[in-house]
Amino acid sequence: MSEPIKYRLESFFWRWAQRRSPRASAVTLRHRSIYVLPSKAGLGFFLAMLLLWLLGTNYQNNLILAVSFMLIALFLVAILHAFRNLAGLRVEGLPAEPGFVGERVELAVELTPARGCRADNLLLALAPELEVRADVAQGKRQLVHLPLRAEKRGWLRPPRLLIKSYYPLGITRVWSWVHLEARVLVYPKPLPASLISASGGGELGDEGQRLKAEDDFIGFSQYQPGASMAQVAWKLYARGAGLHLKQYGGAEQESLWLDFDAVQGDVEQRLSGLCFLALKWHRQGRDYGLKLPSGTLNPATGDEHLHRVLKALALYNLPETD
């Protein structure tokens, strides 16, 4: 009986909190979305205050009472300072680097303090155990990378960001929930896989042998932006000859296809396998294309191509495709 009520109360609370701080790409913390309560240490502080009051009352000693009043006063003032520390802080989500499922991706957030202010001892967390500490100096911006566990491929929308601080005395906990309009692309988890010949007959030969054959070095070509770093002829570059690319493969160099139908397993396993192969071929600097039931990407090389391929794999069959 109590479970649903608790659940409903909680969800009501979060809806309320969300209304007070709606999702946006940049959020400035205002009094509407800043909360202050005593921290755990604050309760200890209260206890000390209470004991002092008892001591002062019992011995009818005004000075001891004054100390206990001073503690109350400090607590009140600490609340104001804690609020000031967070108020006016601007939080902006920046474009984030994609990552793979099972890794930690990092959401980049830029913090800008209010005019003429600084923000001390901030703790930012997207998940309770992944806290990051930040201090923002007056008139400066501070870039913070917030770790986030990627569990599913596709666009990862960060959960509400908790920004809290125990500044100035550790007895107050001031915090705010920020719903940042940001997203991180999560690629499928690369899992070793091999291609089955598209024509249906067995595996695509002994891949190791083919690779050896393709590893035959045939010459250098002019560097093109976006080419794989692995293809760069570093020795040549070191001699001062400029950037060149090593060409492998020879005459039978042909485009490879990441074919959704040519890997085994369910959809996710296939996507993981294709992801693995894409990374591998990219490392080897080879031409490859992507064939998914939803569309085709023509063979090419380079980091951008890799990103396009991985993005297509990440978003395959998901409602949000851009």
Partner 1 sequence: MRGPASISSSALKWLLLSQLLVLLPLTPHLPLWLVVIAGAMMLWRWQLHRGRWFYPGRWQRALLAVVVSGLLFANFRGSFGVETMLSLLVAGFVLKLTELRSRSDVYLLCFLTYFVIGTQLLFLTGFLGALYSFCCLAAITGTLVMTNASAGGQGDYRPWRTLGGLMLQALPVMLVLFLVVPRMGSLWTVPLNKSAGVTGVSDTMSPGDFSNLLQSDEPAFRVTFNGDLPTAGERYWRALVLDHFDGREWGQGLFQGVNAGRRSAWDQWHEELEPLGRQLSYEIMLEPTAKHWLYTLAIPQSFDDDIYVSRGFTLFQRKPVFQRKQYSVVSALEYRAQSSGLDDRERRSALALPDGYNPLTRRLAAEWAEQEGSPEALIQRFLQFVQRRFHYTLQPPVLGEHSVDEFLWETQTGFCEHFAGSFVFFMRAAGVPARVVVGYQGGQVNPHEGYLTVRQLDAHAWTEVWLEGQGWRRIDPTAAVAPQRIDRGVEYSLSEQDSALLGNALSRRFALLARAQLQWDAFNYRWHRWVMEYDQVQQQAFFQRLLGSAVPWKVVTATLAALALIIGIILLWLLWRRRPEVLPAEQRLYQRFCRKLAKAGYPRGTGESPSNYARRVATARPEHASQLWRVAILFEQVAYAGNPRALPEFKRLVRRLQLRSGR
Stretch that binds partner 1, among 149-157, 162-170, 203-211, 234-242 (CB under 8 A): 162-170
How many other C-beta atoms are found inside a 10 Å radius of the C-beta of residue 267?
Answer: 12
Select from 271, 269, 264, 272 the least CA-distant residue to 294. Answer: 271
Q: Which H/E stretch holds residue 295?
A: strand 295-300
Nearest in space to 91 (alpha carbons), one of 138, 116, 120, 124: 124
Tell me how far apart the alpha carbons of residues 304 and 71 are, in angstroms, rounded to a whole number. Answer: 60
Other Cβ atoms less than 10 A from the Cβ of 43: the count is 11
Specify the residue, 86 or 277, whose C-beta has the smaller distance to partner 1. Answer: 86
Applying CB under 8 A, the span of 13-21, 112-120, 209-217, 290-298 interacting with partner 1 comes to: 112-120
Which of residues 116, 192, 202, 208 is near partner 1 by CB under 8 A? 116
Residue 227 exposure: Cα atoms within 13 Å on the Cβ side = 16
> Which one of residues 37, 73, 198, 218 is an interface residue with partner 1 (CB under 8 A)?
73
**DSSP annotation of 164:** E
Closer residue to partner 1 in complex, CB, 98/170? 170
Q: Are the CB atoms for 261 and 291 separated by under 8 Å?
A: yes
Q: Among residues 8, 9, 14, 70, which is the contact residue for partner 1, using CB under 8 A?
A: 70
Is residue 300 within the footprint of partner 1 (CB under 8 A)?
no
Query: Does residue 74 bind partner 1 (CB under 8 A)?
Result: yes
Phi, psi at 156, each rounded to 5°: -100, 120
Tell me which stretch binds partner 1 (CB under 8 A): 55-63, 217-225, 228-236, 255-263: 55-63
**Both tokens assigned to 86:** 């967070």
If binding is defined by CB under 8 A, does position 44 make contact with partner 1?
yes
Q: Considering only residues 164 through 183, tell me which ones interact with partner 1, judged by CB under 8 A.
A: 166-171
Measured from the CB of residue 49, what is the shortest distance to partner 1 in angstroms? 8
Footprint of partner 1 (CB under 8 A): 40-41, 44-45, 47-49, 51-52, 54-74, 76-78, 80-81, 84, 87-88, 114-118, 120-121, 123, 131, 133, 135, 137, 166-171
